Amino acid sequence: MVHALDEIRRVLVTDGILIDLRPLENQWRVEVFSARETRQTGAMADLPAGLEDDHAANQAMAEGERNGWFFREKEELLSIHYIWDTASEMEEWIDAEWEGFVGLGEETRRATRSTWALGDADSRVRVEVKVLITRWKKL
């Protein structure tokens, strides 16, 4: 990752801007929602591989800062939703796409299925993903 940062520095003009946009594991909320109500049914489990990725990325950016390559100008944490029509669609997607990085525990699966099945006709399922956005200036 540090090598990639060095490459980015090379292709950027002086005072050029690097925007780093990435998900940050933080026990993302799992919810069943409808027009009438929202109910949290559990949280995603942070797994070692995902946490290690976050740590490695943070370390690489910190090293870029220490090396005097970039200056951190601005940073914010935002939330974005991943939404599925049904609980089973959510499980299938997460098991395929996020395998090894974040997990869906049995208790959260059961609670989500049950809450969705007994919920309003327009109930859907969502995960609130935390995303870190940072603006860096090349020095």
Interface with other proteins by CB under 8 A: which residues?
A: 1, 3-4, 7-8, 10-14, 16-23, 53, 56-57, 60-61, 74, 76, 78-85, 89, 92-93, 131, 133, 135
For the stretch 79-114, what's the b/e string if a residue is b when 16 or more beta carbons lie within 10 angstroms of its beta carbon?
eeebebeebeebbeebeeebeebbebeeebbebbbe
Nearer to other proteins, 83 or 107 (CB): 83
Nearer of residues 47 and 107 to other proteins, judged by Cβ: 47
CB of 41 to other proteins, least distance (A): 18
**CB 8 to other proteins: min, Å:** 5
Please report the sign of the dihedral spanned by the C-alpha atoms of residue 122, residue 124, residue 130, residue 131: negative
Q: Are 90 and 6 in contact (CB under 8 A)?
A: no
Q: Which is nearer to other proteins, 70 or 115 (CB)?
A: 70
